[in-house]
Amino acid sequence: MQVVVAEDLFLLRDGLTRLLSAHGFQIAAAVDTAPGLLRALLEHRPDVAVVDVRMPPGFADDGLQAALEARRQMPGLPVLLLSQYVEELYAREMLADQMGGVGYLLKDRVFTDNQFVDAIRTVAGGGTVLDPEVVTKLVGRRSHDGPIARLSGREREVLELMAEGRSNTAIAQQLFVTEKAVSKHTTSIFTKLGLAASEDDNRRVLAVLAYLNS
Amino acid sequence: MVVVWMLMILVWRMLSKMLRRFGRWALVMPVAGMAAALFGLNVWTAATILLALLLAVLLGLVLVGWRQAGRSGALPVAMLGAGICGLWTAASLVRSWGAVGFSMLNAFTIQAVVRGPAQRIVVESPVAASVHAAGPAVAKLRGLVVAPPGKGANFNWSGPSWRVYYGRAARVARPHVVILGHGLWWGRLLILGSLLLLAVGLWLSPRAVADLRALITRVAPRLERWRREGNWGILLVPVTSFGLTIFGVRPWTIAALVAAVVITIRWPRLAADLVPLVLVVFAAYGFMLVSRWVPGPTVLAAPQPTQFGAISVDSSQTSLLAGVEASALLAFGAWLFPRTIGAHSRAKPANGHEVELAGRVQRLTETRGHALDAAAAELRRIERDLHDGAQTRLVALGMNLRALERMLPASPEAARALAAEAIETSARALSDLRLLVRGIYPPVLADRGLGHAVRALALDTALPVELDIDLPGRLAAPVESACYFAVAEVFANAVKHSAARRIHLRIEHADDLLRIEVSDDGVGGADPAHGTGLSGVERRLGTFDGILAVSSPPGGPTMIAMEVPCRLLSPKTSSCSGTG
């Protein structure tokens, strides 16, 4: 699997390339500026990009802007954002095109390399992975009326884990239920959120979007 | 009089209690009850009342649309006024009802008052039943009646005007016959209409009051600025016109007035200094007037009655009132002294520019003190947070790693547990640092500026926030930061204390002035004088010559306006708005 890594700090860039190589990814390019990232993405068209939000030259959200621009030119290009902070605002912007293939994680999550690698694979496969911190914040917020309010407690838990990018199998393990029960819940969630039967991955993305917009 | 007032207060209390309990629809009940009492209850009246209510609801819906467009300010006031006028008119008719009694059929009676020398009055009444029921005298009016003034049983002489009773659909054919009366029929409709107007007006008035408050909040910073800069000179003309009440319109009083206008425009500082002097002179004159009326052997003859302000002084009692007025003038003058002459003499300036500079220096000294205090407190907080948080965790992490190193050859199992702990500790340290940085300078603010940062803040707030942001560029970082934390503080207050259902935020930048307005529909009662939150915001904005104005009466709503003079650094074309 071809990966482009964008990170301006040498230590982290080096660590990331080594970690990804060890898990069998091929590093197409490792860049340290936002313009460099955009060039590399357009040139290599990788299976997934791992991008730091804050990068030169502006040291603001340049990485995010480059990723958004790349996705405008190559719709659905899988991008996993890494950052010292997770901002719901940025998550919404990445998800706004409803194409999926979006991840947004705290840099800390690199520590647990298995989960991190799983997240990269989910994103590369068109899934959506949101950092548990964003999800926790969403849960903590008072839910207003809307389709989300119609979900049962268990369905909401399943949706939370879906937002974190877990597969049905992983959700079943986490909640100590059978996979069949989880798939029943997900079907019910899709129905309640009014998501027509289509490709499962896309529906998962839309469900997460509905969750963000609740 | 006192009893009537107390009764009115009691009725108002009951009404407002009812309103709170049943909502504004409770007003329908007294209206319906009043209508029933006036017309009696039958199918016809019920249908009429229902129709009237339907109309009221339709009107209400139209008005709700209007009110959501935010233009309702004058309307409820007008409706309340019209309703009260209508009731007043109806009340003035009540006497004539007393004369004809209170029955359903009298509704067809119309009272006409004829003024002037009426030659003849032509009255036509095709409704036999009503004319019959109104009494034998009126029954003669059936058909066409031509009568000279003062003659005929159908006319009822009452003083200088004619009072005529005649039937429904009557026409009075002389131009100098004035119909004042609207009869019971119209009187009842008048009452019902007035009550409906009053009800809708009352129903709409909270929004009107809110609009009024918004206006006040909008104007308040300007007033505050005006007060701070001490433009008291503008009072010179009104104060000088007080002299007109004492000395009357004379050439020299008019000249003084003209001079006051010229001084106010040309030499505003001199005008400000003159205001307390003129006040004191008038007060002294007032005391002199009072002393002339003091009874005693020195009074040889009754002094000439004079006018002093609102009081005409013609006895020792009224002279006491004049004394009170003079005392008020003296007190106001004394209060103004340190704010005008005192301030100017302290500054000892050569011209108005230097006065301004002196005021500015004083203000800057004040705000610099606040800024230094705030910065010191902020540094202490950061130091404490680092010391107790990340620093401590890093120490623990180092100790863990050292232990790990020692344990690794002997017991790999225990070492693994220690490694897990070390990972956990480093994650906590990172989390602490994240929180700390968020409190110092939030990432979205650093990345994208105030507009987006406030949007992100709105997403994090537990209440729905309506955003209306018109900010075509970045501002200086310290201003952005101060405004961001000000908005955060206000949002936090709204969530914690106001019990509001939604927050509205408006940010605009025009003419080098940033304006932020936050309003909520909560219970109000926010006060910068109590608690540290809002006063902290005020001080923080003060560093940038910013101003905070709060309007938050008990019962709500709360409106907070902030103004900071600042320039845009980099214009950009996009602006953002939305709901979160």
On chain B, the residues whose CB falls within 8 A of the CB of A87 are 443-444, 456
Report which of B502, B489, B411 is spatially closest to residue B454, judged by C-alpha positions.
B489
Res B140: pLDDT: 34
Res B540: pLDDT: 85
Res B173: pLDDT: 32
Picking from B426, B438, B459, the nearest residue to A88 by CB comes out as: B459
pLDDT averaged over every residue in chain B: 71
The conformation of residue A213, written as its DSSP 8-state character, comes to: T
Domain boundaries, chain A: 2-130, 134-213
- Measure the CA–CA gap between A125 and A167, rounded to whole angstroms: 12
Q: Is the pLDDT of residue B560 over 70?
A: yes
* pLDDT single digits (tens) A107-139: 888 877 788 898 999 899 888 888 887 777 766
Q: Do A111 and B427 touch (CB under 8 A)?
A: yes
Q: Is the peptide bond before B557 cis (omega within 30 degrees of 0)?
A: yes
Mean pLDDT of B242-251: 80
A88/B contact by beta carbon, under 8 A:
yes
Mean pLDDT of A176-199: 78
Q: Is the pLDDT of residue B177 over 50?
A: no
Q: Is the pLDDT of residue A150 over 50?
A: yes
Report which of B522, B489, B508 is spatially closest to residue B568, judged by C-alpha positions.
B508
pTM of the model: 0.53
Q: Determine contact, residues B305/B314, Cβ cutoff 8 Å.
A: yes
- Measure the CA–CA gap between A182 and A92, rounded to whole angstroms: 26
Residue A29 pLDDT level (bands cut at 50, 70, 90): very high
B503/A contact by beta carbon, under 8 A:
no
Q: Is the pLDDT of residue B314 over 90?
A: no
Report which of B449, B580, B578 is spatially closest to residue A138, judged by C-alpha positions.
B580
Task: Give backbone dihedrals phi and psi of B508, rounded to 5 degrees, phi first.
Answer: -140, 155
The conformation of residue A145, written as its DSSP 8-state character, comes to: S
- Measure the CA–CA gap between B539 and B373, rounded to whole angstroms: 10
Res B320: pLDDT: 80
Query: Beta strands B110-114 and B177-178: pairing type?
Result: antiparallel
Res B268: pLDDT: 77
Q: Is the pLDDT of residue B158 over 90?
A: no
Residue B149 pLDDT level (bands cut at 50, 70, 90): very low
Partnered with residue B413 across adjacent β-strands are none
Residue type, B499: A
Q: Do A89 and B443 touch (CB under 8 A)?
A: no
* pLDDT single digits (tens) B75-116: 676 777 777 776 766 665 554 444 433 333 333 333 343 333
A2-130 CATH, one of 3.40.50.2300, 3.40.50.300, 3.30.413.10, 3.40.50.11540? 3.40.50.2300
Q: Is the pLDDT of residue A152 over 90?
A: no
Res A11: pLDDT: 86
Across B145-159, B485-499, B561-575, least confident range? B145-159
Q: Do A60 and B448 touch (CB under 8 A)?
A: yes
Q: What is the dihedral of CA B428, A79, A120, A160, to 10 degrees?
A: 60
- Measure the CA–CA gap between A70 and A76, rounded to whole angstroms: 9
- Measure the CA–CA gap between A190 and B267, rounded to whole angstroms: 75
* pLDDT single digits (tens) B455-509: 989 888 888 899 999 988 889 888 999 999 999 999 988 888 888 888 999 999 9
Across A179-183, B56-60, B153-157, B270-274, least confident range? B153-157
Mean pLDDT of B338-366: 74
Q: Do B443 and A85 touch (CB under 8 A)?
A: yes
Q: Which of A54, A89, A131, A141 to probe by mutation at the B interface, max B CB count within 10 Å?
A: A89
Res B42: pLDDT: 52
* pLDDT single digits (tens) A56-107: 888 888 999 999 999 999 988 999 999 888 888 888 888 888 788 899 998 8
How close is the nearest chain B Cα to the Cα of A183, in Å?
Answer: 30
The reply to whether CATH 1.10.10.10 applies to domain A134-213 is yes
Residue type, A65: Q
Q: Is the pLDDT of residue B52 over 70?
A: no
B426/A contact by beta carbon, under 8 A:
yes
- Measure the CA–CA gap between B56 and B62, rounded to whole angstroms: 10
Q: Is the pLDDT of residue B70 over 90?
A: no
Residue A159 pLDDT level (bands cut at 50, 70, 90): confident
Share of chain B above pLDDT 90, in %: 7
How close is the nearest chain B Cα to the Cα of A87, in Å?
Answer: 7
For chain A, positions 145-174, list CB contacts with chain B under 8 A: none
Mean pLDDT of B543-552: 87
Task: Give backbone dihedrals phi and psi of B363, rounded to 5 degrees, phi first.
Answer: -65, -40
Q: Which two tokens stand for residue B324?
A: 């009170």
Mean pLDDT of B543-548: 87
Residue B521 pLDDT level (bands cut at 50, 70, 90): confident
The conformation of residue B157, written as its DSSP 8-state character, comes to: E
Give the number of other Cβ atoms within 10 Å of residue B331's Cβ. Answer: 12
Res B135: pLDDT: 35
Mean pLDDT of B239-263: 84
Q: Which two tokens stand for residue B498?
A: 């106001």
Share of chain B above pLDDT 70, in %: 64
Res B562: pLDDT: 92
